[in-house]
Amino acid sequence: MAFLIFSCNTTEVNQEEKLINDVLFSIITDNPDIFTSDCKLLNKMSNRFMPPSINYGNDSTFIETIKEFIEEEEFYDLLRQKRNNEKYEFITEQFKNKYEIISEAKIDSLIDRTNTDKNLDYWTEFQNEIGCLQIFSRPIISADKKTTIIRHIGISGPHSAGGFIIIFQLRNGKWTIIEDIESWIS
């Protein structure tokens, strides 16, 4: 009986992970001017490298920001998704034809190497080995799967980064921006 429950939970997670990947891939494909294929892609969706955000970090502010785009009955599930810190991996078959995938372990190795060898500069090594990197947090998807909130950062140097939190909506079969919650560039 325990095996059956575990098996169902695993299937549920796999379906959710596939949905997240499918939605994100469609958004990337529908918006090539925002998501450049010149930039490599971190293999996991993660908040680890994201800067703090008042519009995303505080639940009540987050709800206030999105309430005109999302039904009130969905707020609890959206907050659950936002708090879910699991690092969903990209389904590489889906993304590898569009992006070079960089592992989180490679970033960690680069950090460790530059922390150990004081003659190395992190950003010089980053630019030599990676160049440009895109990172996504876990997309937050509405129940009808027609609205999603994407948090993204692109990094190519110590003073060359940008990011955003955007609400996309599926309209006429294409994901379009309906609200730019927050954008920044350095």
Residue % of the chain over a pLDDT of 90: 41
Q: Where are the domains of the chain?
A: 2-185
Largest distance between two CA atoms of the chain: 57
With a threshold of 0.85, does the pTM exceed it?
A: no
Among 18-22, 75-79, 120-124, the least confident range: 75-79
8 — pLDDT class (breaks 50, 70, 90): very low
- What mean pLDDT is predicted for residues 112-140? 91
pLDDT higher than 90, residue 23: yes
Q: What is the DSSP string of 37-84?
A: TTSEEESB--STTPPP-HHHHSHHHHHHHHTTTS-GGGHHHHHHHHH-
In the structure, what pLDDT confidence band is assigned to residue 169 with cuts at 50, 70 and 90?
very high
Could you tell me if 137 and 83 are in contact, meaning their C-beta atoms sit under 8 angstroms apart? no
Locus of tokens 């003659």: 119
Instruction: Say what the pLDDT of residue 58 is.
Output: 66
92-108 average pLDDT score: 87
Measure the CA–CA gap between 4 and 170, rounded to whole angstroms. 36
pLDDT-based confidence at 127, cuts 50/70/90?
very high
Is 12 a residue whose pLDDT tops 60?
no
Whether the predicted pLDDT of 83 surpasses 90: no
pLDDT reported for residue 1: 47
Q: Which of 76-90, 98-112, 142-156, 163-177 has the lowest mean pLDDT?
A: 76-90
